[in-house]
Amino acid sequence: MFDLFWLGLVQGLTEFLPVSSSGHLVLVEKFLHLTPDLSRELWFHAASLLAVIGFFWQKIWQLVRGGFLLVTRGENKEEGLLAIKLLTASVMTATLALPLSDIGKETWGQDETILGIFFFISAGFIFTAYWSHQKQKNLEKKFSWPIVLGLGLVQGLAILPGISRSGITIAFLIACGLAWKKSAEISFLLSIPTVAGAVILKLDNSPIIPWGNEEMVGWWFSFIFCVIISWAVIRFMLHFLNRYWNAFGIYCIFLGGLIIWLDKFYS
């Protein structure tokens, strides 16, 4: 029960913050002496997915409707084109993430030094985006096709624990000249097909969740808790992203350094 509570809290807090949810879940599992479990992973990713769908349901409906009208009638080009761009970016992500998946959490995620280095890489993306933004403050660019393709490939790196999906995608968009809030919104919308696709692909390999017994109380409590926390974090990011952006980079450097130090001196 308490293990699930902590995992739900960590997933809810870190999925949409630029600090890597996968990296944090690896750390929490090690701290709690838990064996990595695909059922738990899918369960909490589904909770985060439900949160982002609930938060953006109106925008999602506009994208679905716009995509349908664009394909069938050539109408509603703005929303329809954005929907197609998000799907294209997701396909690009799959081309990189699938080959990397075999050396993701199960391999590099178990090496603390490599995990710490990946947190440093996330910090590098964060600081690079901030410096790029400072140089082009008044040059707000559009979500063009080259940016779409690059975004999809960059997101594929998030299969590696310690590399934050939201962090590198938001950082990439900001570095390309998009506004802070627009970058975050695109990143969160892009998480829907990406996370949904990952969950569906892994369902066949997932052990059966213990439906119908006393353990499900803890599972459902942690699920709802994760949804609520994820929702709050999305709202926070859309309103205060630019104010606290560099703080996330500092946090990733601190955490990465701490992981490496502990691994070297206490292993």
pLDDT (tens digit per residue) in 171-228: 999 999 999 999 999 999 999 998 898 888 777 666 556 555 567 788 889 999 999 9
**Rounded distance between C-alpha atoms, residue 50 and residue 44, angstroms:** 10
DSSP 129-169: HHHHHHHTTT-PPP--HHHHHHHHHHHHGGGSTTS-HHHHH
d(CA 230, CA 223): 11
For 15, the 3-state DSSP assignment is coil
Residue 76 region by backbone torsions, left for phi larger than 0, else alpha for psi between -120 and 50, else beta: left
pLDDT at 142: 86
pTM: 0.92
Q: Give pLDDT tens digits for 4-15.
A: 999 999 999 999
- SS3 call for 128: helix
Give the residue carrying structure tokens 């119908």: 212
Report residue 1's pLDDT band, with 50, 70 and 90 as the boundaries. low
SS3 (DSSP) at 200? helix
pLDDT at 23 over 80: yes
Residue 72, helix vs strand vs coil: helix
List CB contacts of 203: < 8 A, sequence separation 6 or more.
42
Q: What share of the chain is helix, strand, coil (3-state, %, to 5)?
A: 80, 0, 20
Find how far residue 214's CA is from the centre of its chain.
Answer: 31
Q: What share of the chain in percent tops pLDDT 70?
A: 90
d(CA 148, CA 153): 9
Say how far residue 63 (Cα) sits from the centre of its chain: 20
For the chain, helix (H) and strand (E) counts, in that order, are 10, 0
Burial of 142 from C-beta contacts in 10 A (0-12 / 13-18 / 19+): exposed
Dump pLDDT digits (tens) for 75-129.
767 888 999 999 999 999 988 887 777 665 555 556 788 899 999 999 999 999 9
